[in-house]
Chains A and B, each alone.
Chain A
């Protein structure tokens, strides 16, 4: 199994509060990704990173920001959480981009915004 740890695994918070989710990898992979999984939508890319301090937006990036100050850590922040951001969040990593490299996923964070 790829060495990916997501924290926290579960979180319940209130609308309007800031929330930060952490993804930590021990594989030294260059590429890291944040997805959300919702019923009827599969997994959708929020943001991704192609190196330290190098990030870009994905399909559903509104309301989210990310930071990557070290190769091993990729943080996802909800500046002011809304109920529509209740979801299961998955971090993924890959050694290379494209070149038919599969992404490998962490076990997810279940986030509930009340």
Chain B
């Protein structure tokens, strides 16, 4: 049973436009959410996180939105750049060591 779902395996976006990556979860006890970016042959790199007490967190071009009632979070990248092309994983935690990861979305930013 997948507690964290990324329903879009891939996404293509034109350079300079907005990229929106989505993640849904089923466990209402999750209270910490993260996004990781992964390039081929490298490990996942922490990108941005959000606590359940917030509904938005920004870091430069990256913004994460959390909608607790819908059990949905999204990552917005504005403007998208070719270097953003990677696989993006969302993860959720109940505030412990245990992270539950989604299956990833491959983002391709077209120049």
Interface residues of A (CB under 8 A from B): 4, 31, 33, 40-45, 48, 50, 58, 90, 92, 94, 97-100, 102-108
In the A-B complex, the 8 residue pairs with the closest CB atoms: A105-B43, A42-B101, A102-B46, A43-B101, A98-B95, A107-B43, A42-B103, A97-B97
B103 touches A40 (CB 8 A): yes
Assess whether B41 is interfacial by the CB under 8 Å rule. yes
Q: A43-B89, A102-B34 are in contact. Are A31 and B97 (CB under 8 A)?
A: yes
Closest to B100 in A: A42
A100 with B44: CB separation less than 8 A: no
Q: CA–CA, A100 to B51, complex, Å?
A: 7
12 contacts between A and B (CB under 8 A): A41-B103, A42-B4, A42-B104, A45-B98, A48-B97, A50-B97, A100-B32, A102-B46, A105-B43, A105-B44, A106-B43, A108-B42
**Residues of chain A with a CB closer than 8 A to B91's CB:** 43
Chain B, 64-102, CB within 8 A of any chain A CB = 89, 91, 93, 95-99, 101-102
In the bound complex, CA of A104 to CA of B44 (Å): 8
Which B residues contact A (CB, under 8 angstroms)? 4, 32, 34, 36, 41-46, 49, 51, 89, 91, 93, 95-99, 101-104
Q: Which residues of B contact A94 (CB under 8 A)?
A: 97
| Sample of 4 more A-B contacts, CB < 8 Å, known A42-B103, A45-B99 | A43-B99, A45-B98, A100-B49, A107-B43
Q: How far is the CA of A102 from the CA of B91 in the complex (A)?
A: 10
Distance between B62 CB and nearest chain A CB, rounded to angstroms: 14
> In the complex, which residues of chain A have a beta carbon less than 8 angstroms from the beta carbon of B43?
4, 90, 92, 105-108
Chain B residues with Cβ below 8 Å from A48 are 97
